[in-house]
Amino acid sequence: MTEGAVLRAEGIGKSYPGVRANDDVSFAVAPGEIHALLGENGAGKSTLVKMIYGLVRPDDGRMLLNGRPHQPADPRAARAAGVAMVFQHFSLFDALTVAENIALGMENPPPRRALSARIAQVSQDFGLPLNPDRRVVTLSAGERQRVEIIRCLLQNPRLLIMDEPTSVLTPQEAELLFATLRKLAAQRTAILYISHKLEEIRSHCDRATILRHGRVVDSCDPRAHSARDLAAMMVGGDMRPIDRSGRQAGEVLLQVKGLSQPAPTADATALKSVALTLRAGEILGIGGVAGNGQDELLAALSGEIRNAPGTILLEGADLSRLGPEARRAAGLLAAPEDRLGHAAVPDFSLTDNTLLTAGARKGLVRKGLIDRPAARAFAQDVIRAFDVRTPGPETAAKALSGGNLQKFVIGREVMQAPRVLVVNQPTWGVDAGAAAAVRQSLLDLARAGAGVIVISQDLDELLELSDRFCALNEGRLSAPLPTQGLTLDQIGLMLGGAHGMEVAHL
Amino acid sequence: MIRLVPRTDTPALLQGSTPVLAVLATMLAGGLLFAIMGYDPVTAIRTIFWDPLFGPAASYSRPQLLVKAAPLILIASGLAVGFRAGIWNIGAEGQYIIGAICGAAVALAAYPAPEMWIFPAMVIAGAAGGWAWGMIPALLRNWFGASEILVSLMLVYVAQRIAAWMAFGPMKNPEGFGMPGSRNLQQYPAAANPELIVGTGAHWGVVAAVLAVLATWFLMSRHIRGFHIRAAGTAPRAARFAGVKPETLVAFCLGLSGALAGMAGLFEVAGPAGQITDKIGVGYGFTAIIVAFLGRLHPLGILLAGLLLALTYIGGELAQLTLNLPGATVQVFQGMLLFFLLGFDLLTRYRITRRIAA
C-alpha cells in the first residue's frame, strides 16, 4: 500500500516551546483512500496537516508527495504540488457571490463566465448543489463548506485534507459530504480526514492513523474495530477512572420553562421552548452538533441575553429579567466555550480576569472599587487548587496553554461555590490530564450539592459525567433520559433530531 | 509584495518608547520640510520647541502653555476613556462648541447679576451641553446602529453653524455696535474665568484638567467601570459575559467625553476667548485626539502629550511671527506627529515581511 502512495511521511517531528507536537510520525495515504487522522484535541493532528499544507515546517523527517520530496515553503507551493485543504473555519467574503469568492482564491482566475460554468460542472459532478451566483451571506454552514470544497476541487488536487469538516454540519449535510468524498476517492484522489468522531470514521474511512501525544500509536482499518477500541487507542490505557460516587439528587434548583428566543444574529440559532429541571447534586448533560443553539442556550442562562419573565427560576426566584451580575449574585454561574475572548480577556492578567465574574461573590469589588490584593489572592487560590501551570497571577491569560486557561476559567467559577454552574464544552481543545481534572471538579461540585449543566459535543464526556442526558437540536431541547443504560444508537437518534420526528408522528 | 505579519510578542520597551520616537521623527521630518522650503531647519525647530519656554520672549509665551494645554488635556482625558472601550468620539470639537454656547447662555441670561452661583452654574451648563451633544451619536448608535464616528464628526459642523448663528443672532452683544459676537465675559466678574495665579496662565480650566486626569486615572485603574471599559475595548464578548451592557457603555463614554469637552469650551469662552463668536472652535477637539493617542490613552501620558501639543501651538505662532513660517505649520506638525505615532505603533504590533503567503 505504501508503494505509489500519494503522500508519505517519514519520521516527522515538530517542537514548540515546551511541547513536542509531533514526534517520529510516519504514515502513508494511498490514492483513492479516505484516510482518517484520529486523535484527541492536542494529539498533534493539526500540526501534522499544517506541515503538509506548508503552514508550518517540520523540524525532522521528510515527506514525499507522489514519490517526490515535499517541502512546501508556503501553502501556495503546497497547492502547486497538488495538496488542497478545507479548513474548519471558512475564509469567505459574505458580500461576494460564490463565483467571486472562488475567483479570489485562485492564482489565475479564468473569465467569470467560464469560471461559473466550471463551478456548475464540478458541483454537478460531485453532487454538491451550489449556485455560483448566490451571495455567500445567504448560504448555510454546509453550503459555505461546499464553496471551500469546490474551490479545492478546481485545482484537481491529488491530496485533499479536511479538518473536522462535520463539526459544523447537520447529519444530512454530513451524508452529502461523504457521498462527495467517495466520488472523489473513486477518481483516485487521496483524502486525509481529520476528526475525533469515532462513528463517522468507522463508517466512512478506509484507514485510520491514530495519534496520541504527538506520536503514531496505531494504524488500522477502522471498520474492523469497535468505537470503544478506537477510543482506547486514542486516549491510551491511562483513562483515569472518574469518581462519580457520593451524589444524590436533591431538591429542584433550576427550572427553565418555555424558554424561546429569536436568533440574535443571522448565523445564530433560535431557542425554541426549551424546558429543563435541574436538581441539587445532579449533572445534566446536553449533547448536540455544533451550531444547534449551544452558545445561545449558555448566553440565555448566563444572562448575557435576557429572557421573557418566568422562564428561568433559581430556587423559585425568577431570574429571567436579570443580567449576568445579578444572576451570579443569586448563584447561577456559567463558563462559556470560547476561553479566549469570552470566558476570559486574553490581554488581561489572571488577577484581572477574576474580576470578570468573581467580583460580587468573592468580595473583590466593593461599592465599585476594585480590591486588587483580594483579586490576586483569589487568582492565586484558583491557580493552586486547580493546578494551573503559570508563572503567576500577573501572567496574561493568552500566555497560558488551552488546558491551563480552561482549568483557570472553570476553577474561577467552581471556587465561587455556585448553586448552579452551566459549562459549555468544558474540555474542548484541552489535553487529557487537564480534561480529567476539569471533569472531576464538576463532579466534586455536584457532590457538594450544586447542580451542574454540561453542554458538550463530546459524547464520551457526557456519558461519563451526566446523570441525565438530553439533546439540543436546532434550538430544541429533547426530554431528558437517564444516562444509565443509554446506548450510542439512542443518543445518535436523539442528536439526529429524532425528537422532531416524534413530534411529527404524534 | 510587502505584507504585515502580526508580531507574537511586542517588546515592552518598544511599546513605551513609540511616542518619543514619533516626536523625534516629527522633528526630523519637519526640519527636512523647512530645509526644502528654504528655512534654516535648526532655527525653525528651536523656535517651535525651545524658544516658547526658554527663548527671549518666554515670559510672554510660557503662560500660554497652560492656557492651551488645559482644554487639550481636559478633552483628551474624556476621549481616551471612550477610545479604551473602542467607542470613537471624533466630534469633541462640536461638544466643545455647544458647551461654550450653553455655558455662555447662562452668563448672558444672568447679566449683569453679580451672584456667586453664576460661574458654577455656567460650568454645569457647559458640561450638560457637551453631554447632550455627545448623547446624540450615542443614542443614534444604540437605537439604529449608526456609526458614532460619522455622526459625532458631522455634528461638529452643525455645532459650528449654531455658533455662527448665536454670534450673529440671539447672543449678539446689544452694546456691540453691530459687531458680531457676544458680550465679553471677561468683563463680567461673576462669569469670568480669570487667571488664578498671575503669570502662570492657570485658570479654572487648568484645575479642571488636573482633576480630570486624576479622576480618569482613578476610574480606569481602580473602579470596576473602568475595568469593564478596558475589557469591552479588547474583548467585547468577555465584557458582555461579565455583565456589561454595550448600550450603557456607549452612552457613558460619549456622555463623559462630551461633558468634559463641553466644560473645556465653557472655560475657554469665559476665559481666554472671552466671547461667543463664529470662530469659537479653534480645533482643540480634534487636536485632543492626537493628545489622547500620543499619551497612550493613559491619563499621565495625556498630561505630558497635552503640554507638548500646546507647545507646538505656541511655537508655531512664534515661528510665524519671527521666521515668517506659513500658518499651516502647526497643523502640518500635528498631522506628522499623529502619522508617525500610528506608523510606529503599527510597527510595534506587526513586522514587515516580503514573503507572499496564502
Least confident among A160-174, A384-398, B119-133: A160-174
- pLDDT above 60 for A505: no
Percent of residues, chain B, with pLDDT higher than 90:
63
Q: Residue A371: what pLDDT?
A: 96
With beta carbons under 8 A apart, name residues in chain B contacting A345. 231, 234-235, 238-239
Q: In what helix (H) or strand (E) does residue A154 lie, and over which residues does it extend?
A: none
The model's pLDDT over A350-360, given as tens digits with 9 standing for 90+, comes to: 999 999 999 99
- On whether residue B23 sits in a domain, the answer given is no
- pLDDT above 90 for A135: no
Nearest-angstrom CA–CA distance, B326 and A341:
49
- What integer is the mean pLDDT of B34-38? 90
With beta carbons under 8 A apart, name residues in chain B contacting A408. none
Q: Residue A365: what pLDDT?
A: 94
The model's pLDDT over B166-177, given as tens digits with 9 standing for 90+, comes to: 999 999 998 888
Please count the other Cβ atoms lying within 10 Å of the Cβ belonging to residue A488.
Answer: 14
Least confident among A171-180, B39-48, B264-273: A171-180
- Residue pair A102/A116 in contact (Cβ under 8 Å)? The answer is no
Q: Residue A347: what pLDDT?
A: 92
List residues bridging with A60 in a β-sheet: A13
Least confident among A37-41, B69-73, B161-165: A37-41
Residue A449 backbone phi and psi in degrees, to 5: 105, 5
- On whether residue B15 sits in a domain, the answer given is no
- What integer is the mean pLDDT of A218-231? 84
Which SS3 state, helix, strand or coil, does residue A385 take? Answer: helix
- Residue pair B203/B267 in contact (Cβ under 8 Å)? The answer is yes
The DSSP 8-state label assigned to residue A6 in this structure reads S
Nearest-angstrom CA–CA distance, A470 and A90:
30
CA distance B139 to chain A (A): 20
- pLDDT above 50 for B149: yes
Which SS3 state, helix, strand or coil, does residue A451 take? Answer: strand
Q: Decide which of B4 and A387 is more confident.
A: A387
Q: Residue B133: what pLDDT?
A: 98
Options 3.40.50.2000, 3.90.1300.10, 2.60.40.10, 3.40.50.300; CATH for A252-339+418-505 is: 3.40.50.300
- Residue pair B89/B152 in contact (Cβ under 8 Å)? The answer is yes
The CA-atom distances, in angstroms, between A147 and each of A110, A142, A390, B53 are 17, 9, 42, 65
DSSP assignment string, B39-93 = S-HHHHHHHHHTHHHHSTTHHHHHHHHHHHHHHHHHHHHHHHHHHHTT-----HH
Q: Is B5 on the interface with A (CB under 8 A)?
A: no
- What integer is the mean pLDDT of A136-157? 84
Nearest-angstrom CA–CA distance, A121 and A118:
5
- Residue-number span of the structural domain to which B87 is assigned: 40-324
Band of residue A499 on the pLDDT scale cut at 50, 70, 90:
very low
- On whether residue B3 sits in a domain, the answer given is no
- On whether residue B82 sits in a domain, the answer given is yes
Q: Residue A503: what pLDDT?
A: 33
Q: Do domains A7-235 and A252-339+418-505 have the same CATH topology?
A: yes
* Nearest Cα residue in chain A from B240: A304
- Residue pair A388/A412 in contact (Cβ under 8 Å)? The answer is no
- pLDDT above 70 for A237: no
Nearest-angstrom CA–CA distance, A230 and A164:
17
Domain harbouring B111, CATH code: 1.10.3470
Band of residue B200 on the pLDDT scale cut at 50, 70, 90:
confident
Q: Hey, what amino acid is at A390?
A: T
- What integer is the mean pLDDT of A147-171? 84
* Nearest Cα residue in chain B from A105: B358
The model's pLDDT over A395-417, given as tens digits with 9 standing for 90+, comes to: 999 888 778 899 999 999 999 99
With beta carbons under 8 A apart, name residues in chain A contacting B227. 352, 355, 370
Q: Hey, what amino acid is at A299?
A: A
The model's pLDDT over A57-100, given as tens digits with 9 standing for 90+, comes to: 999 999 999 989 999 988 889 999 999 999 877 788 888 889 99
- Residue pair B52/B61 in contact (Cβ under 8 Å)? The answer is yes
Inter-chain residue contact A352 with B227, CB threshold 8 Å: yes
With beta carbons under 8 A apart, name residues in chain A contacting B223. 368-370
A25-39, B19-33, B123-137: range with highest mean pLDDT: B123-137
Provide Rg for chain A, Cα atoms.
Answer: 24
For β-strands A468-473 and A283-287, DSSP reports them as parallel
Q: What share of chain B is helix, strand, coil (3-state, %, to 5)?
A: 70, 5, 25
The model's pLDDT over A274-297, given as tens digits with 9 standing for 90+, comes to: 999 999 999 999 988 777 889 999
Q: Where are the domains of chain A?
A: 7-235, 252-339+418-505
Band of residue A42 on the pLDDT scale cut at 50, 70, 90:
low
Of A325, A344, A347, Cβ closest to residue B243: A325
- On whether residue B347 sits in a domain, the answer given is no
- On whether residue B100 sits in a domain, the answer given is yes
- Residue pair A425/A374 in contact (Cβ under 8 Å)? The answer is no
The DSSP 8-state label assigned to residue A82 in this structure reads T
Please count the other Cβ atoms lying within 10 Å of the Cβ belonging to residue A118.
Answer: 17
- pLDDT above 80 for B43: yes
- On whether residue B343 sits in a domain, the answer given is no
Band of residue A490 on the pLDDT scale cut at 50, 70, 90:
confident
Q: Decide which of A176 and A303 is more confident.
A: A303
Nearest-angstrom CA–CA distance, B287 and B314:
14
The model's pLDDT over A430-489, given as tens digits with 9 standing for 90+, comes to: 766 788 889 999 999 999 999 999 998 877 788 889 999 998 888 899 999 888 877 766
Nearest-angstrom CA–CA distance, B215 and A465:
50
Residue B213 backbone phi and psi in degrees, to 5: -60, -50
- Residue pair B318/B47 in contact (Cβ under 8 Å)? The answer is yes
Q: Residue B205: what pLDDT?
A: 95
Q: Whose grid coordinates read 473602542?
A: B86
For β-strands A7-16 and A83-86, DSSP reports them as unpaired
Give the mean pLDDT of chain A. 86
Q: Which alpha helices (H) appear in A34-111, and where do they start and end?
A: 45-52, 75-80, 98-104
- Residue pair B31/B46 in contact (Cβ under 8 Å)? The answer is no
The DSSP 8-state label assigned to residue A426 in this structure reads T
With beta carbons under 8 A apart, name residues in chain B contacting A325. 242-243
Domains of chain B: total? 1
Backbone CA torsion sign across B135, B136, B142, B146: negative
Q: In what helix (H) or strand (E) does residue B353 lie, and over which residues does it extend?
A: strand B350-353
Inter-chain residue contact A369 with B245, CB threshold 8 Å: no
The model's pLDDT over B240-272, given as tens digits with 9 standing for 90+, comes to: 999 999 999 999 999 999 999 999 999 999 999
- On whether residue B172 sits in a domain, the answer given is yes
Give CA angle at A300 (A297, A306), nearest 5°.
160
Q: Assign domain A7-235 to a CATH class.
A: alpha beta
Give the residue numbers in A contacting B (CB under 8 Å), as ranges. Answer: 74-76, 302-304, 323-325, 328, 334, 336, 338, 341-348, 352, 355-357, 359, 365, 368-370
Smallest CA-to-CA distance from A302 within A270, A272, A334 is with A334
Please count the other Cβ atoms lying within 10 Å of the Cβ belonging to residue A67.
Answer: 11
- pLDDT above 80 for A199: no
Q: In what helix (H) or strand (E) does residue A155 lie, and over which residues does it extend?
A: none
Chain B contact probe: residue of A356, A361, A371, A372 with most B CBs at under 10 A? A356
